[in-house]
Chains A and B, each alone.
Chain A
Amino acid sequence: MTNDTPLCPECDAGVDIPADAMENELLSCPECGIELEIMRLDPLELELAPEVEEDWGE
């Protein structure tokens, strides 16, 4: 983890961002497991992903 590593907005753990990350990509916090969304890559900004809604799926 470096000083640039973004923090989970839920638990403050450092979240490593994959090299091929994209805006609006979902990822999980390695500490608390909560789902996060990359809102912006430059500067990097993480938010809690939206709650799963009843009609979500395949």
Chain B
Amino acid sequence: MRVALLVTHIRAEEKLILTAFNNRDISPDIILDRELNFNISAGPQQLAPSGSAWREYDLVFERCVSTSRGMYALAILNSWGLRTFNTYETAAICGDKLRTSIALTLHGVPQPHTRVAFTPESAMQAIDLVEYPAVLKPVTGSWGRLLARVHNRDSAEAILEHRQTLGDYNHHIYYVQEYVDKPGRDIRAFVVGNRTIAAIYRESNHWITNTARGGQATNCPVTESINKICLRAADAVGGGILAIDLLEDAGGNFVVNEINHTMEFRNSSKPTGVDIAQEVIDFVIGEVGVVA
């Protein structure tokens, strides 16, 4: 099997993925997204930066830290009929919080009360309707960046004015969610195909619990209810290899906060005892093998 690993650069996760491929006697070609230069209409017979034609790859595994580069590369590769993980469609939904919310709604998956507005004035109305405290998020972005918990109208007005004045057009899409008063933690669950292979609690004194922001990872048993909501969420965005972030509300019910399509997991294998990289790679090898 010939595999291309598409990356922005090599992080701990990519090294783990390469090791997992090597464990199955597969040596992926590493392709840097900075070196991509596609002729859109020339098809997969054109050469990849590796020197091989794209059509020679049975699988392109996308692990770009740059969401836009990864997403558009997938769009092109899928348009040529190349097999990728994840697909462009899944990446495009997960890379956009608004599109994720729409997909979850269409599939009846619980999520925080969410509203969207396009001007500061209508955004203020949206925040009033969600009620305080509310959370303002950019529709794209990751690692907990530029999230704002808004406690009152004064702070809402200030944040909206800053976003309207200093942000580009992406920041003029006002995505507003209710603040879920979670118990000092959220849950990140890892879905591979139709299985929730592991989950961690991300505990933090800060309301933003991302491990990129210092949240501490401990094992979270994958209960039937966690598995059920995660598989439904994964199905809603097209499935694949996904990290589902769950919040527990005051009643102990789960809501889906967001879904990541190029998940980080370096801090999650140890507490869970699950070799996440190997689970992922064995899944993709199996999937590609079925099709071949």
Contacts and interface: CB of A to CB of B under 8 A. Distances in A.
B262 A58 contact: yes
A55 B140 contact: yes
Nearest to B142: A57
B260 A58 contact: yes
A55 B7 contact: no
A38 B171 CA distance: 34
Contact of A25 (B15, B145, B264): B15
B66 A25 contact: no
Contacts of A55: 66-68, 140-141
Contacts of A32: none
A53 interface: yes
A37 to B, nearest CB: 6
Interface residues of B, number: 24
Nearest to B262: A58
B147 to A, nearest CB: 12
Interface class of chain A by DSSP: loop
Contacts of A20: 15
Contacts of A24: 7, 9-10, 30, 32
Contacts of B262: 57-58
Interface string B260-287: 1111100000000000000000000000
B233 to A, nearest CB: 15
Given A22-B15, A24-B32, A53-B66, A58 B10 contact: no
Interface string A18-58: 00101111100000000001000000000001100111111
A15 B66 CA distance: 26
Interface string B218-252: 00000000000000000000000001000000000
Given A24-B30, A24-B32, A53-B66, A58 B143 contact: yes
Contacts of B30: 24
A24 B18 CA distance: 14
Contacts of B143: 56-58
B129 interface: no
21 contacts: A20-B15, A22-B10, A24-B9, A24-B30, A24-B32, A25-B11, A26-B10, A53-B66, A54-B145, A55-B66, A55-B140, A55-B141, A56-B8, A56-B66, A56-B67, A57-B65, A57-B142, A58-B142, A58-B143, A58-B243, A58-B260
B10 A25 contact: yes
A25 B65 contact: no
A31 B260 CA distance: 33
